[in-house]
Amino acid sequence: MISIKKLIPILIIISNNALGNISKDNSQISSLIFSNIKEEKIEIDDISNLALTLEILLPKKIVQNEIENLYDKLGKFKKEKKIITCDIRSKGESLSFFSKIEKNKKKVILNIFDGKELENRISLNNVLDSFKKILMRRFLNDYIKKIEDSISKINKTQNRIIRNNPKKLEMNIGFFYNVYQKNESKKISLKSSLESLYEELDNVKIQYNSIK
């Protein structure tokens, strides 16, 4: 299972290659994080069910928490073993369905089904589409926080240099700061790193706000 932290350097590449094209950015990020929604047969207590399946490249804990938050807002839900049952009632209409979350190698697999061979296929597909947007917002929001944290650290480093010797700032154009995490670290100078981070921050915020 890949953590959000390990996905962030990939997102940096996507964003830098597609600045100005927000819908394209979100499409690229979405295809990185999610598979297409598919119909598959799954076994629950030796009973075969037709389900809508979505593969997600995010930590299972995040997926679990966010799906429960969504179901809580939509209606009522309860957990029994590995199955989540959700009941939605609105304007005289009702929808009951089940979810199962499991881990497969580096991906999390979310299955949702109604026990009626997907009689409510359209409604369930809408639930998954809404959930994908929620996870996209969560991913981008976490990324924004990480950029802001990097900016804060670089500003502190820059301010310390100025306090110690104001004239050294220009002299230290060769000073490098490890901006991103150790496995995907990218060493760039303080000045250019700040410019890049602010540009990246603005771009990701636009992407976040473009999700409807």
The DSSP secondary-structure symbol of 178 reads E
Task: Give the number of other CB atoms < 10 A from CB of residue 23.
Answer: 10
Q: What local confidence, expressed as pLDDT, does residue 187 receive?
A: 39
Element (H, E) at 43: strand 38-44
Tell me which residue of 116, 130, 143 sits closest to 211, measured CA to CA: 130
- DSSP character string of 79-125: EETTEEEEEEEETTEEEEEEEEEEEETTEEEEEEE-SSSSTTHHHHH
Residue 175: what pLDDT? 40
Tens of pLDDT, residue by residue, the chain (212 residues): 445 454 444 344 334 443 334 455 567 778 888 999 999 999 888 889 999 999 999 999 999 999 999 999 989 999 998 899 999 987 778 899 999 999 988 899 999 999 999 999 999 999 999 999 999 999 888 888 888 888 888 777 766 665 665 554 444 444 433 433 333 344 345 566 677 777 888 888 888 888 77
Cβ atoms of 58 and 4 within 8 Å: the answer is: yes
Q: In which residue are the tokens 């209409």 written?
A: 93
Q: What is the pLDDT of residue 15?
A: 42
pTM: 0.70
Where in the chain do CATH 3.30.310.220 domains reside?
4-139
Tell me what pLDDT residue 143 has.
87
Structure token digits, residue 53:
């399946």
Fold adopted by 4-139: TATA-Binding Protein (3.30.310)
pLDDT recorded at residue 62: 93
pLDDT score for 28: 76
pLDDT at residue 115, rounded to an integer:
92
* Beta-carbon-side half-sphere exposure of residue 5 (alpha carbons within 13 Å): 9
Q: Are 51 and 33 in contact (CB under 8 A)?
A: no
